Chain A
Amino acid sequence: MVRWLLSLGLLFAVVPQGSPADVALSPSFNRDIRPILAEQCLSCHGPGKANGGLRLDLEVAATKGGKSGSPAVIPGKPDQSELIRRITSSDPSEMMPPPKSKKVLKDQEKATLKAWITRGATYEGHWAFEPIRKTVGIGIKKGDPESLIDRHIKKRLLFSGQAMQPEASREILIRRVSFTLTGLPPTLLEVEQFQKDNAPGAYERMVDRYFSSPRHGEEMARHWLDVARYADTHGLHLDNERQMWAYRDWVVRAFNFNMPFDQFTVNQIAGDLLPNPTLDQRIATGFSRCNVTTGEGGSIDAEWIFRNAVERTSTVFTTWLGLTGGCAQCHDHKFDPITAKDFYSFYAFFHSAADPAMDGNALLTAPTVKLETEEIKKRRAALQKDLDGVHQELVAMGGKVTYLDPSSQTGQTRQKVTEDIWFDDAFPTGRVFASPGHPTEYVDATKGRVFSGSKALKRKDVGLAQDVIEDMPPKSIGAGAKLFAHVYIEPTDKPKTLMLQYFKGGWLHRAVWGDYDAIPWGKPGTTEKVKVGPLPELGKWVRLEIEAEKLGLKAGDLVTGFALTQQGGTVFWDKTGVLANTDPATDTGQSLIAWWKSQKGKDIAGVSGPLAGWIKGGPDTKRAEKEKAQVQSYFVSEIWKNAPPEVINLRSKRLSLQAALTKTEADLPGSFVFADLPQPRQSSVMMRGQYDKPGDKVEPNTPRFLPKLTGLDSRRANRLDLAKWLVSAEQPLVPRVVVNRFWQQVFGTGLVKSSGDFGTQGDLPSHPELLDELAGEFRAGGWNVRGLLKTMLLSSAFKQSSGAPESVWTLDPENRLLSRGPRIRLDAEQIRDNALFVGGLINLEMGGKGTMPYQPPNIWEPVGFAGSNTQNYKQSKGEDLYRRSIYVFLKRTAPAPFMSNFDAPNRETPCTKRERSNTPLQALQLMNDIQHIEAARGLATQLLTTGKDPMAQIRLGFRTVLARNPSDPEEQALLAFLLREEARYKTEPAAAGQLVRVGESAPPKAMDEPKLAALTLMVNLLLNLDETVNRN
């Protein structure tokens, strides 16, 4: 009987329900039949297509048959079943699968189908969609101290005639536990403590110590961030920096507090919808903002709103449901019961996202939260108080100063040439921004060139770049007005073109100096693009000037925006404005009446109450004198450009306070959060997954083949409903999927190997009952992550030796049966952190902006977009070089080689399972990367300071790296190597001097350099050992 099972290749796939004989006799639909149908039949006879009117995935349809009329499946009667006739036919026009499908049924598969029909052709739902069940009668008595896990593992091993390996040594175990829970090796002290603890429960105490380390949250977060696709750049096009490390730090904290997984889920999916959400709960919603976004010019908004929503939907599918929703984006899923309607109903939860289609290449793309500390709050309050005081003073002053409207004067000539400054040290109020993606940069005379005042703007770029203001208070253009700006061109880096642009109802007024074509904006030969002349002289301050009329701006026109634009080069910009023969009687900056007229029908920012209405009414409306006086008072304090110095001074004082306040705000780090639009978008099934082909309208809902979303009454469902549904008591998938990923983290491979696919195309669980028991307990026990992990870590299955006789490796090559302890290569971060840790270099500071450790030159640069703010890698200095890898800045389009070389994903898409490759590039890195050499020297220095005996040095080094003592042959081999290298470096001390000076940390003074060099190379060897790069 067992042979029958073996012949089907199921040995590693299933656990028998009852006795082996039962299994062999009745093929189970889920275990044996569905995979065959899914692989060979359902793409034509399934949910997507029903060729010939036949579906084989549904019992009713299969027993009814297709157009041919004969039932495909007649339970108990294989010889009369059309299915069997077709699969055994050799007539090309009849046989199934048809020859042109290029699919071929194996004889074994045919026999299995036949056996299934013979035994009644029982259909079952897909295992992962069925309710989670408690197993009964595992065959072990109640009260047995053996853990749940071990019972199942042993039973399965027994079935294939195997048994577990003996427990590994304490030295191996502590390193295994330490890496599993903290991603770092144990210290010598910890090893010693554990070895000396002879009281019962020593192992459990050791495990608990690592649970309570803050390093635990970091290690746990690392795995979650792979799924959450967290990174520090947008990912597409410019791939500029994005600020949301607060989300990463929140994940670390959540694991360190052992936040129950249901809360962890709700916070990330819908933290913003909880009553009075905390800052942390809003930060957690960053999960759904971690997707890659674009700011590429020319992209179509509707397409990206669609794509972002699809991505977020698929990510939730993958992360919590373990389903590949992507297929249903275009059509009903061919294999799983997810219809396109299911997918787009789910998508509707995320479709009304408040963030824009394009990220604007900005550090913070709204919606975001500011991470305001108490200290900053206080400083801002103080500034605000000062600001209010100055403002009050100014208002009071407005009523006191004498003002005579020039429009009421007659006689003498009223024309006067005046310069109206629009920019000098600061822009007027309005929306100031820069493109493409660089922040506006102000420099003082110590950092650049300044023409007047204390600051100028600096802009350096290789492409099109500019500083822009929109929505500034209207600036009137006087008669014969000349627009001007001052520029200083760095002679070594000149731009192709300079351009001044002005906004009057549209960006339609441009003046060009230099290459007329380099900037493709504006219709040539019109006021949209006026050729003024060549580039001005380099290396000195030059005044750019152009008659406003030439740009189509007439006297009396009001300008509300301007831009200082250049194509490439390094340019300083300063003092900008308009010079005009102004008639004081019509100048809105001098005449109250002229200004008041210009404001008719308009709202002014910052003015409210009756005054706003009086101004908006204009000067012609009848007003009481007292009201007129208040309007005049406002004009004098805020608008009048010839106001007396005391007013001007107060204004500038207020401006600088405002600037300081804005700066404290701008300097505050922020984090992307998820929020909905006030009015939801109408979602639809998008035909064939095309953003511009909406089909049937849909409302937010969960897939129909899973438990219903309840408690809505007639309300529209929102993300909070969705989150609660995910962690509800009826949900079959989430606990299984989540438990399985934690299992994968601990044991190296999930009970379901395809940890990202629990659908019908995914792998079957190796131990289905165990998975269900763990999942059921996890949920019933309050989603206690630490509890779950502890159950796994305390099992004998985990504690086995990872070495085993060759026959065990042959029988169970992937260790799916756990016939030995888990032995897995360390992850990229663990490998680097381990080296820094044993080398005594590691900096365990937590959180904050990503750091930039050593990296070979030209990783970012060859791929970087000209003008991206992550084009050039700026290596960190000092202690920041040695932060843990979870805090390393992750640029999606060019991840650090120490990460990608060791299979870390680039976080463009969710990654539920990393590869574990084994390549010569990894060997080269571990041997030669400066990070590893410097770490080796770090440990070598410690060895040299502890004693002179080479053997003692070897033993200490070995134990530090591997937590165990070397065997005789091991230490002999190392000793021979060490002595050889010592001799060699003694004869060539210059080489020794070079080796011990690798890296930025200073080498120790007055050391025996040849000895240190030899020890460095020996530690380099230790760090390259297979045992070192593995969790053994």
Chain B
Amino acid sequence: MSGFQLWPDNPTRRQFFAGPGLRMGALALGMMAHKNAKANPDPSHLVNPALPGLPHHKPTAKALIYLHMNGAPSQIDLWDYKPKLQEYFNKDIPPSIRGAQRLSTMTSGQARFPVAPSKFTFQRAGKCGTWINTDLMPHTSRVVDEIALIKTVNTNAINHDPACTFVMTGSEVPGKASIGSWLAYGLGSLSNNLPGFVVLTPRFPADSNGQALFTRMWSSGFLPTAYNGVALRGSGDPVLYLKNPEGVSTADRRAMLDTLGSLNRMNSDRLHDPEIQSRIGQYEMAYRMQSSVPELTDLSNEPKHILDLYGPNVTSPGSYAHSAIMARRLVERGVRAVQLLHRGWDQHGGLPRELGNQCKDTDQANAGLIMDLKQRGMLDETLVVWGGEFGRTVYCQGGLERDNYGRDHHPRNYCMWMAGGGIKGGITHGETDDFSYNILKDPVPVNDLNATILHCLGIDHERFSFRFQGLDQRLTGVEPQKVVKELLA
């Protein structure tokens, strides 16, 4: 059993992977390294193949890039154009609209609920004519023909922590598996040298209101921990403990691993525990990652016209633009799910200025990502999702001026968009009332959205489950959910 470096071509490996040890070592499987970092589409070479029976149907997307705008971007100021609101400036929202909804206690004590119309310019963009805030999203407005805008996403949660947990894991209660973990678990990885699920947490504008992130948003929950999202870091080693200690060279490490391998094999011959072979493999993968990850993060071969798509910050590690191009590079190399979590979207006050900063940080990179994926033919097989955890209220929180206001949490409707990977571009789905306060048509609960994401990746969400705590756990929960067919191309 020597020569494990050659595993990807070694038939005994597959028998080995069928053994009990490998269920545990699955992350490792997703990370087995080739010298060549590009994804190898030949399924017989995959060290972490899909579960038997998956995908359930022909997928329209191979990979997911999920752009999570953490804190709840204001749908009224970005996508949900409500021209009639101008007449309502500083007038109380009609009780018939507000109804008896529960409010966050940050505003439930307010004496008034004065309407704050958006101060921004909206225009129709693209061939499709989707309304969009062109002041803050000039770049995104050029790719709306690729985008399916959903105006009626809704959630039960009213505070950030439970809402984020819900949007990412299908449950407000911590402990469930995140969407990326589900995909890595079910579909395996097309990469033999990178994890199936990678997370990026870029910087955000320093004076924006940043909520906390939680590792549970990319945690495997009850699934084996091997499917945890692996955080690529913006500073220091991109993967934890990647670098050898000072004074240890690659040659030292190679020599150490050779000896380590030979001792481990002696132990394996004595005990016959298959987990020992698995560990030998993990060490070889670790060694290869020490070169494949730096290759991944090295942008020196990206041409200038590509870098320019993402905007001026693209070469600064840890920036949103850098994370966006990294998302493309990860997917290109076969990573199944990439999640960008960008913070600072929680504008209870001073919304116009802060929202402007948030968009400035992300707008060009979002559009750049879509254009880049498209020009290299990857958009057809990559699903891009953009959105937060809930929306914001039409009424003002705190002081109200024409060009300065704040908004509280609004779970009843908010906007998300999807693009690529089997999504019908240039459409707007769902309608809200004139106050962006209630849904008039085609509500899309978060779990329906997640069911749709799974659908694009070839998974029937009802049949995709994992037994835990006596229940067949699903990303989409135990209640019936449905795929939003109208969004599909």
Contacts and interface: CB of A to CB of B under 8 A. Distances in A.
B282 A518 contact: no
A991 B252 CA distance: 11
Given A804-B272, A809-B274, A517 B349 contact: yes
Contact of A903 (B225, B246, B275): B225
A207 interface: no
A275 interface: no
A708 interface: no
Contact of A865 (B158, B212, B230): B212
A518 B405 CA distance: 10
B262 A973 contact: yes
Interface stretch (A215-223, A290-298, A586-594, A654-662): A290-298
Interface stretch (B102-110, B126-134, B328-336): B102-110
Interface string B24-51: 1111100100000000000000000000
Given A324-B469, A862-B234, A863-B213, A897 B247 contact: no
A789 interface: no
Contacts of B225: 900, 903, 915, 917
Given A529-B399, A803-B273, A825-B275, A969 B266 contact: yes
Interface stretch (A411-419, A451-459, A756-764): A756-764
B481 interface: no
Nearest to B107: A298
B470 A336 contact: yes
B174 A967 contact: no
Contact of A928 (B243, B270, B271, B280): B243
A918 B241 contact: no
A887 B175 CA distance: 24
- B contact residues, range: 35 or more
Given A813-B19, A1026-B279, A300 B210 contact: no
A806 interface: yes
B249 A991 contact: yes
Interface residues of A, number: 116
Nearest to A936: B245
A904 B223 CA distance: 14
Contacts of B102: 300, 692
Contact of A993 (B219, B247, B285, B408): B247
A587 to B, nearest CB: 35
A868 interface: yes
Contact of A933 (B201, B245, B259): B245
B247 A858 contact: no
Nearest to B193: A920
A contacts with B: majority SS: loop
B259 A906 contact: no
A974 B259 contact: yes
A823 interface: yes
Given A857-B235, A900-B215, A920-B282, A521 B160 contact: no
A235 B242 CA distance: 29
Nearest to A336: B470
B244 A927 contact: yes
Interface string A681-709: 00000000000100000000000000000
Given A297-B105, A856-B237, A237 B160 contact: yes
Residue among A517, A921, A998, A1021 with max Cβ neighbours from chain B (10 Å)? A921
A805 B272 CA distance: 7
Contacts of A1017: 248, 252, 256
A933 B253 CA distance: 13
B267 A920 contact: no
B175 A908 contact: yes
Interface in B82-96: none
B260 to A, nearest CB: 5
Nearest to A865: B212
B104 A928 contact: no
A521 B349 CA distance: 9
A863 B282 contact: no
A759 B27 CA distance: 31
B207 interface: yes
Nearest to B223: A915
Given A863-B214, A866-B210, A995-B246, A917 B27 contact: yes
A1000 B267 CA distance: 34
B470 A762 contact: yes
Interface string B281-297: 01101100110000000
A925 interface: yes
Nearest to B106: A298
Contacts of B206: 462
Interface in B145-166: 158-161
Nearest to B398: A520
B211 interface: yes
B74 to A, nearest CB: 15
A1013 to B, nearest CB: 6
A250 interface: no
A831 to B, nearest CB: 13
Interface string A891-932: 001110100110100101100000111111111110111100
Nearest to A894: B215
Nearest to B406: A520
Contacts of A757: 469-470
Nearest to A329: B173
A814 B20 CA distance: 7
Given A297-B105, A802-B271, A806-B272, A920 B31 contact: yes
A372 interface: no
A37 B290 CA distance: 51
Given A298-B158, A520-B348, A897-B240, A970 B266 contact: yes
A480 interface: no
A921 B266 contact: no
Contact of B275 (A335, A762, A918, A974): A918
Contact of A324 (B160, B236, B241, B470): B470
Interface string A506-544: 000000000111111111100001000000000000000
Nearest to A863: B213
Nearest to B350: A517
A865 B102 CA distance: 26
B376 interface: no
Contacts of B401: 517, 524
Nearest to A821: B271
A292 B237 CA distance: 31
A301 B109 CA distance: 14
B55 interface: no
B263 interface: yes
Given A757-B469, A917-B225, A928-B245, A463 B256 contact: no
B471 interface: yes
B484 interface: no
A147 interface: no
Nearest to A754: B470
A925 B240 contact: yes
B178 interface: no
Nearest to A801: B271
Interface string B450-488: 000000000000110001011100000000000000000
B349 A524 contact: no
A236 interface: yes
Contacts of A517: 349-350, 398-399, 401, 404, 406
A371 interface: no
Q: Nearest 6 pairs between A and B by C-beta?
A: A520-B398, A995-B247, A761-B470, A994-B247, A298-B104, A803-B271
8 contacts: A823-B273, A897-B240, A909-B174, A918-B282, A921-B240, A928-B242, A930-B245, A1025-B267
Given A520-B406, A918-B25, A1025-B260, 6 more contacts: A517-B399, A529-B399, A928-B242, A977-B255, A1017-B248, A1025-B264
Interface of B: 19-21, 24-28, 31, 102, 104-107, 111, 158-161, 173-175, 201, 206-207, 209-216, 219, 224-226, 228, 230-231, 233-237, 239-249, 251-253, 255-256, 259-260, 262-264, 266-268, 270-276, 278-280, 282-283, 285-286, 289-290, 348-350, 397-401, 404, 406, 408-409, 462-463, 467, 469-471
